[in-house]
Amino acid sequence: MVSTNVHNPNDLSQPVVGRFAPSPSGRIHVGNLFSFMVAYIRAHQKGGSCVLRIEDLDPDRSKQCHIDQIFRDLDWFGFEWSGEAVYQSERTEAYQEAFDALDSMDLLYPCFCTRADLHAAQAPHPGEEFVYQGTCRHLSHDEQAEKARVRNPAYRICVTNDEIVIDDAFQGEHHYNLQGSSGDFIVRRCDKTFAYQLAVVVDDAYQQVNDVCRGIDLLSSAPRQRYLQELLGLPEVTYAHVPLFLDEEGRRLSKRNNDATLSYLIDSLGLTACQILGYIAYCSGMIDSWESVSLSELIQFASLDALTNTTSIVWKDPSSVK
Ligand SMILES: [Zn+2]
């Protein structure tokens, strides 16, 4: 069994380091803002701080204009972070080192499956994770060489049958078995971009993050990340997965939900930063009524207990609440 010895957030001998990790594929939305707020409040209520990481791993989806907008938005809401922002696009060497370390443990193998192959093998039901069936795990060297002539492989890591326990600060204890929950997962894509799971683990350790607060949609990534931390000898982190904002039909907020975009809240409704922070804090139960509050006031007064065992929050247009 993988160790469950997590960093104890009540242990004040170790400063709490949270993080904001936006992907510059668009402007941040209400869900991102909410997880940044909770990360910030959690860290600061324990006397710690946050770091910033721009998750621009994917060169096709990351745009400089979105990076600029992320900085403007974080400033406007009053977020502060320690040190310089880290850009994943500049961290390839560190990911390669981790990749080589895993490879030297004989845990990696090339996977030549196309998306169509994977879907033919298993069509996941909506909301279910895809579980890789290990198709390429036992290819011979000759078979690998043959397939490599026509297709660049992705690299997967072999997982074990061990139980991994994630004791989440908001969502409680979750038990996983990677063979059943994800199967062997990708650490480097066929276009040679390192996978999110590997990059995040390497970067959290590099930035000394010990408190990972993010949306509950990433809870199922936690056991894969814990597994990589263990193999790479990196410190474990505390996980705190916050509820997701859903629209009134129960769907995840997306681009179609214009009433949850910052441009609507700021430009159309004319709300101030403190009004927006207060509205999100009120919707999520961190404060009792909608008032205008700054981040430093939230650190003093907000209660994060309301987020415990909550998986979703319904987003309502603030103009219908006023
Ligand atoms: Zn494969």
End residue of a domain, out of 196, 214, 235 = 196
How close is the Cα of 133 to the center of ligand 1, in Å?
Answer: 8
pLDDT > 70: percent of the chain? 93
246 with 313: CB under 8 angstroms?
yes
What are the residues whose beta carbon lies below 5 Å from ligand 1 (ion)?
111, 113, 135-136
- Give me ligand 1 centre to Cα 247, in Å: 37
Task: Give 118 Cα–ligand 1 centroid separation in angstroms.
Answer: 8
Cα(189) to ligand 1 centroid in Å equals 12
pLDDT of 127 reads: 58
Residue 28 lies in a domain: yes
- 142 assigned to some structural domain: yes
* CA nearest neighbour of 91 among 131, 55, 52, 144: 55
Tell whether 84 and 142 lie within a shared domain. Answer: no
| Residues 173, 250 share a domain | no
Mean pLDDT over each residue of the chain, to the nearest integer: 92
Domain that residue 124 falls in: 93-196
CATH number at residue 307: 3.40.50.620
Determine the pLDDT at residue 144: 96
42 vs 31: CA distance, rounded Å: 17
Q: How far is the CA of 33 from the centre of ligand 1 (A)?
A: 37
Tokens in use for 24? Answer: 């510059």
Instruction: Name the DSSP letter for residue 265.
Output: I
Residue 179 lies in a domain: yes
**Per-residue pLDDT tens over the stretch 81-138:** 999 999 999 999 999 999 999 999 999 999 999 887 787 776 656 556 789 999 999 9
Q: Which of 279, 301, 276 is nearest to 289 (CA)?
A: 279
Q: What token pair was written down for 263?
A: 């441009």
Same domain for 315 and 296, yes or no, is yes
Three-point CA angle 294, 296, 71, nearest 5°: 70
- Tokens coding 29: 């939305």
Query: Same domain, yes or no, for 174 and 100?
Result: yes
What is the whole-number distance in angstroms between the Cα of residue 264 and the centre of ligand 1?
44
Mean pLDDT (whole number) for 19-46: 96
Spacing, Cα 139 to ligand 1 middle (Å): 9
How far is Cα 96 from Cα 251, in angstroms, rounded to an integer? 37
DSSP-assigned letter for residue 163: E
Q: What distance in angstroms lies between residue 130's CA and the mean position of ligand 1's atoms?
A: 13
CA of 24 to the centre of ligand 1 (A): 30
CA–CA gap between residue 190 and residue 142 (Å, rounded): 19
Residue 55 CA to ligand 1 centre (angstroms): 26
294 and 258 together in one domain = yes
The domain boundary residue, chosen from 196, 222, 253:
196
* Tens digit of each residue's pLDDT (9 = 90 or more) over 150-180: 999 999 999 999 999 999 999 999 999 999 9
Three-class SS of 55-66 = CCCCCCCCCHHH
My answer on whether 165 and 249 are in the same domain is no
* 143 CA distance to ligand 1 middle (Å): 12
pLDDT of residue 321: 82
Domain total of the chain: 2
Q: What distance in angstroms lies between residue 177's CA and the mean position of ligand 1's atoms?
A: 20
Distance 129 CA to ligand 1 centre (A): 17
pLDDT, tens digit (0-9, with 9 covering 90-100), for 208-259: 999 999 999 999 999 999 999 999 999 999 999 999 999 999 998 877 888 9
pTM over 0.85: yes
Cα(214) to centroid(ligand 1), Å: 30
pLDDT at 80 over 70: yes
Q: Does residue 237 fall inside a structural domain?
A: no
Task: Give yes or no for a contact between 253 and 31, defined as CB atoms under 8 angstroms apart.
Answer: yes
